[in-house]
Amino acid sequence: MSERTLTLDGVDLCFEAYGARADPVVLLIAGGGQSMDWWEVEFCHRLAAVGRHVVRYDHRDTGRSSTSPAGEPSYTAADLARDPLRILDHLAVERAHLVGLSMGGGIAQQLTILHPDRVRTLTLMSTSPAGPGDDDNGLPPMDPQLAATFTDPAPEPDWQDQDAVVTYRVEVERPFGGTMRFDEGRVRRIATREVTRTHNMAASMTNHFLVEDGWSQRSRLSEISVPTLVMHGTADPLLPFGHGVALAREIPGARLVPLDGMGHQQPPPELWDLVIASLAEHTAAG
């Protein structure tokens, strides 16, 4: 499908849609610093094939959506959280099935609590009940090896050297993998597409993590009343599996589907049969 761009209040949001327009809408919300490219085209086609109108989009500072200077985001976390509703309004979609991963899962939780009338079902992948300002008591900590990459990060590339930026992007993803084989060829293809499409990769790799968000959702998870599915990698090094268990426990009626061997990432092709079947069943309920 061809990319389309919504421009509202001077902000561009780039998105794509797959499948029949009359089918129920599934909105895919990516993680921090991720363009929509990480929701792979074939994954979107396969989900559309079960009778869903699949929409993916670029967050601000990713892909072809609006960008800010690196280190100087011109938006807030609340703006990022509002953007999915802007897209749904543009498409004249009253209620959608939300699928959020990592930061996108936090956005999806917030939307479901604040705007329950816009959500048919909720699916949370590789995310946590804990947000900024929350007490992490009872949740397992980040893997120490991954934590070391934050305290001693790799040198940034020459942002004007596309090949160097692609390699850097691949290496950023590598430590987030689980116990499944890291498919470098696949990750490099996604990274190449992302780097080619993104206005400013330095901003894309930085700015989402600089916006301040003091809104805490954990104490309000019990308010979620839409059908909720939690999918979580059993080998997630950033948000270990216990985070998914806690989400499923704290959201009334939520169902947990473990993704064996998966790390902190979009489900790789080896898991698509399970993930798409689970999403098809879950989104038929709303």
pLDDT at 218: 86
Q: 215: pLDDT confidence band, cut at 50, 70 and 90?
A: low
pLDDT at 25 over 70: yes
Letter string b/e over residues 181-218, b meaning 16 or more CB atoms within 10 A of that residue's CB:
ebeeeebeebbbbbbebbbbbbbbbbbbeebebebebb
Does 102 participate in catalysis according to the annotation? yes
Residue 137 — pLDDT band, cuts 50, 70, 90? Answer: confident
Query: Tokens at residue 141, please?
Result: 């900590």
Rounded distance, CA 202 to CA 158, Å?
9
pLDDT greater than 90 at residue 217: no
> CA-CA distances (angstroms) from residue 216 to 121, 134, 196, 250?
21, 6, 35, 14
Which region, left, alpha or beta, applies to residue 10 given φ > 0 means left and ψ of -120 to 50 means alpha?
left
Q: Report residue 1's pLDDT band, with 50, 70 and 90 as the boundaries.
A: low
Annotation says 236 is catalytic: yes
Q: Out of 232, 264, 278, 282, which one is annotated catalytic?
A: 264
Question: 236, 243, 278, 282: which is the annotated catalytic residue?
Answer: 236
Q: Which two tokens stand for residue 49?
A: 């094939």
Strand partners, 6: 13
Strand 255-259 vs strand 228-233: parallel, antiparallel, or unpaired?
parallel
Q: For residue 130, name the pLDDT band (cuts at 50, 70, 90).
A: confident
The Cα 135–Cα 88 span in angstroms is: 33
Task: Look up the CATH superfamily of 4-283.
Answer: Alpha/Beta hydrolase fold, catalytic domain (3.40.50.1820)
Q: How far is CA 205 from CA 63, 67, 146, 195, in A?
A: 11, 12, 17, 11
3-state secondary structure of 75: coil
| Residue 281 pLDDT > 80 | yes
192-201, pLDDT tens digit by residue?
A: 999 999 999 9
| Whole-number Cα distances in Å, 276 to 67, 120, 198, 216 | 32, 17, 28, 30
DSSP string over 116-145: GGGEEEEEEES--S--TT---TTSPPPPHH
Task: Name the residue ranges covered by the structural domains of the chain.
Answer: 4-283
Instruction: Read off the tokens for 133.
Output: 């300002």
Q: What is the pLDDT of residues 55-110, one digit of tens each?
A: 999 999 999 999 999 999 999 999 999 999 999 999 999 999 999 999 999 999 99
Closest Cα to residue 192, out of 170, 214, 171, 211? Answer: 170
Separation CA 180–CA 147 (nearest Å): 20
pTM for the predicted model, two decimal places: 0.97
Q: Is the pLDDT of residue 132 over 70?
A: no
> Is 128 annotated as catalytic?
no
Compute how many other C-beta atoms are within 10 angstroms of the C-beta atom of residue 267: 22
Q: Which of 35, 66, 102, 204 is catalytic?
A: 102
Q: Which two tokens stand for residue 109?
A: 């939780």
